[in-house]
A and B are shown apart, each in its own frame.
Chain A
Amino acid sequence: LAKTTQPISMDSYEGQEVNITCSHNNIATNDYITWYQQFPSQGPRFIIQGYKTKVTNEVASLFIPADRKSSTLSLPRVSLSDTAVYYCLVGDKDFQKLVFGTGTRLLVSP
């Protein structure tokens, strides 16, 4: 499984766009990039998954450059309820075993 590196923490204010970048230099050809969100004392929740270029859903966008060695999760206009830990994971599309790192702790302030 490719190792991922992401910032330990980020701060933002309500209404701002937040971009969290994840490095995965050793990503394999058949690996996908998946992001999960976790609130305190809750289970992780799937946000988005992508392979290349850009993926968008109702919650976030995921930008993946051509070399795929990094990816950026973009949260448009965050609110206080987006305060959570965000995890970047890399593995094949059907990967059965999720390996979580320490994630990025996002704090959204008023």
Chain B
Amino acid sequence: EPEVTQTPSHQVTQMGQEVILRCVPISNHLYFYWYRQILGQKVEFLVSFYNNEISEKSEIFDDQFSVERPDGSNFTLKIRSTKLEDSAMYFCASKGRQEQYFGPGTRLTVT
């Protein structure tokens, strides 16, 4: 069964540093997403991406965040200057005809 993959599985960074989280969506999917889940809290939508542009973003997705599909396979989330409150699991998802398929997540720890 095809799957979404994410790297790294765990990223530790210092406050103020830039991080890039990487995702490889399922190959024939056209819609891509990022979600995050702070420990013990709900899964929160960050952004959706289609046809090489953002289609929707949440209030969380401020100017510190950006997404990119640099080539035909990768989908990245960049956080320019990390804050302590950015510590969370970040999930990438992609969608074909019906449901969204989620990746295993990247645990981001900001110290």
Contact = CB atoms under 8 A, between A and B. Distances in A.
Interface residues of B, number: 26
B56 interface: yes
A96 B99 CA distance: 10
Interface string B75-90: 0000000000000010
A96 B48 contact: yes
Contacts of A43: 4, 91, 93, 102-105
B89 A41 contact: yes
Contacts, number: 50
Contacts of B28: none
B100 interface: yes
Contact of B43 (A34, A38, A93): A38
Interface residues of A, number: 18
Interface string A94-110: 00111111100000000
Contact of B99 (A34, A97, A102): A34
A4 interface: no
A38 to B, nearest CB: 7
A28 to B, nearest CB: 18
Interface of B: 4, 31, 33, 35, 42-45, 48, 50, 55-56, 58, 89, 91, 93, 95, 98-105, 107
Interface of A: 34, 38, 41-46, 49, 87, 93, 96-102
